[in-house]
Structure 1
Amino acid sequence: MFRLRLTNHGLKLGAYLAIALLASACSTNKDELLPHGDRTMMDVWDQGSSGSSSSSSRQLLDARQDLRRPLETRETDNTMFTRTAQNEIYSQFKRLPNPDLVMYVFPHLAGSDPAPIPGYTTVFPLYQRVQYAMPGERTEAY
């Protein structure tokens, strides 16, 4: 029976050989992959923009005309998405109603030396903090 005995040195040598084979298999020549002729980039640009034939030039101009936007602005399309001072004040997070409560405080004595306090009326909000609705949440009365 044949036994193959690999040492640590033999494993390293095998690993280096495998890496070298993989690296050489992936290598290629730049000129082979991206061939280039005698024309410069300026020549390619000039030919593409002026066109070698009048029909291709006309097609290019028609395509450019289709892609052009009109000069006038349509405010109805962009007003919902444009940030303005008014938009920022009246933002998409609407304030929820916070009704005022009116309370009458009867005459009473207050303090460690009881001092008479006359009766008075005060107003305070129902909720301690201002509450905001989530975007799209209904804020009008049900």
Structure 2
Amino acid sequence: MRPTWIDRRMVLLVVIASIALGGCATHSEKLLPRGERTMLDIWQHETGGGPGNQAGRQLLDARQSLRRPLTEADARATTALNTAYTRSAANEIHRQFHRLPNPDLVMYVFPHLAGTEPVPVPGYSTVFPLYQRVQYAMPGERVEEY
């Protein structure tokens, strides 16, 4: 009785495997037909044509009307803005990333007994920072010193 059950199970397993593998035997051209158009043709059709087309010319004209030359004030402002973030010997002295305040907390420990053999410990004060890590500000985020 047992060998028959194993044979039926093997036959069922072979049938399922052949069906599963038969599904993978499809030709790629049948699944995704390529057609006559290339990607360049599709791109030009969807974006309004190539550079010689009227729509492409209108797009270039619209972009050109939005462009304007930089004035002298714009050029100076851009240069000044960029020099604030570049490294030089002069600005290496000054910190760009300032530390954010981390206030110190003062805690008073009352007199107590400590240890396995109770030893008297006098009262004392201790100082520790409020935050565990030092936090830094982004450049320009905090300008005043503390």
The structure with more helix, counted as a fraction of residues: 2
Common fold: TM-score over 0.5? no
Q: TM-score, normalised by structure 2?
A: 0.38
Question: Larger Rg: 1 or 2?
Answer: 1
